[in-house]
Chains A and B, each alone.
Chain A
Amino acid sequence: MSDLAQNQKADREPLFSKKNKKLVTDPLTDNNPVTIQVLGICSALAITVQVKQGVVMGLAVIFVVALGNFIISALRNLIPSRIRIIVQLVVVASLVIIVDQLLAAFMPDVSEQLSVFVGLIITNCIIMGRFEAFAMANKPWPSFLDGIGNGLGYAGLLVLVAVFRELFGSGTLYGFPIFGDYITGSGLYSMGYVNNNLMILPPMALIIVGIIIWVQRSRNKSLQEEH
């Protein structure tokens, strides 16, 4: 991963360090961590069954990556280079544990739904990727913004995928029934419509992410790779 991160750093640094605004807006579109860099895919597949889970997971990742970026950047001149990956890991792990504990204490329902996936934020490549590629080489404030931007980019995609999966898989959005009541068979269901169970299963998330990547690259030719 560090090779990849090094390359990204070399490519992006002049672009990013000029305008702080771009740090936040770029990852939302043309440098989206999920669709362009294809990082953090595992969790995008796992917790996009419902919009609510996606929102909470997105918020948790924004918190971790923004604060983590800030901390790493503030320490960047103190961290011994030989143990920098371990230091980054310790920072991510502690922030994730804090999120996990707070969720379990104050949002128990959400905590139950997300269960192991909160812990798995630690392994989310976006976070370590941003630490290594951005925070280690930039000042705290731009790093914080970069974290917010990348977190938002991730969260936005998560919610987008979850909207499709929840709507067509369960007939609801954020828990509210859209197509009528599935169990009593009212609304659309009375006309013979059924929920698509395939949407609930992980492969469909991969297909939806694929379609999003396809749409994005066909609209923006500069993202297409030459072979």
Chain B
Amino acid sequence: MAVNRDSNGYTFFFAIILVVVVGSSLAMIAGWTKPYQTRNGEVKKQLDILSAMLDIDSLGINRKNAEEEFVKYVDLKDAIVLDANGNIKEGEKAFDVDIRKEFKDKKLKTKDRNYPLFVATKEGKTFYIIPVIGKGLWGPIWGNICLGEDKQTIVGASFGHKGETPGLGAEISQKFFIDRWLGEKISDENGEFMKFEIVKDGSGKLKPSKVDGITGGTITSKGVEEMANRGLSVYVTYFKNLKQ
């Protein structure tokens, strides 16, 4: 069969066939893997929330058993969603709120974002887990901050990042950095929000509301500061109203 491979007609024909074949096979693959990917996302979220209050590595909690371990500690019926003024939004499911997507959505104003709050129990004690999201140097950073029963003292946290510099900004996910946040209070005795500040002079250990940053990771550390301040203030308002 003699076909002129350099003719315009053949070139168009080939291109169209190629696009149709490739497009439909990719659509098939995407449709097939979609349920697995969604599930992986949910499991990751469960692990992130748990890692704020527990040492999931030493407890042997991983992707495989995340689901059963998650329900042991967190009752999603207690979880609520707040608006930017700290009022409860009815009818929203906390676990389904995608704060990363909302944070990325430029059209969505800060005051329209949802603020989920998870309530967990461990050995009879109540913990409040607050997901936060912000910007690092190269990409998004996120975390879950766990408050103790007094609703103001940080008892645990986990931070994650997409692509901060290894050895510098990426260290925010390490235990030594998280330990610097433990014991800090997010509100004073009147229930007013206390702003955090990342400091460079090493005074974080001594002074309240000050946390030592990471050498060489200033921008990422500042990102964590901004993320914590913006995220936590909403919940402080909620806790304050709760007391009154």
Report A-chain residues with C-beta under 8 Å of the C-beta of B189. none
CB atoms of B44 and A102 under 8 A apart: no
Q: With the chains together, A108 CA to B22 CA distance in Å?
A: 25
CB atoms of B18 and A87 under 8 A apart: yes
CB atoms of A108 and B15 under 8 A apart: no
CB atoms of B166 and A83 under 8 A apart: no
Q: How far is the CB of B109 from chain A (nearest CB, A)?
A: 29
CB atoms of A104 and B63 under 8 A apart: no
A106 within 8 A of B: yes
Considering only residues 10-59 of chain A, those with a C-beta below 8 Å from chain B are 49
B93 within 8 A of A: no
Report B-chain residues with C-beta under 8 Å of the C-beta of A94. 22, 25-26
B60 within 8 A of A: no
Partner of B44, one of A106, A108, A200: A108
Query: Quick one: CB contact mask for B9-23 with A, threshold 8 Å, 1 for yes?
Result: 011001100110010
Q: How far is the CB of B139 from chain A (nearest CB, A)?
A: 9
CB atoms of B166 and A98 under 8 A apart: no
Partner of B6, one of A78, A81, A102: A81
B167 within 8 A of A: yes
Q: With the chains together, A200 CA to B171 CA distance in Å?
A: 13
Q: With the chains together, A80 CA to B6 CA distance in Å?
A: 6
Q: With the chains together, A109 CA to B40 CA distance in Å?
A: 9
Report B-chain residues with C-beta under 8 Å of the C-beta of A116. 163
Partner of A108, one of B18, B40, B163: B40
26 A-B pairs with CB atoms under 8 Å apart are A49-B166, A80-B5, A82-B6, A82-B11, A83-B14, A87-B14, A87-B15, A90-B19, A94-B22, A94-B26, A98-B26, A101-B29, A101-B30, A101-B33, A104-B33, A104-B37, A104-B40, A105-B33, A106-B33, A106-B36, A108-B44, A109-B63, A112-B44, A116-B163, A200-B166, A201-B167
> Which 6 pairs, one residue from A and one from B, show the smallest C-beta to C-beta distance?
A105-B36, A105-B33, A108-B40, A80-B11, A101-B33, A197-B167
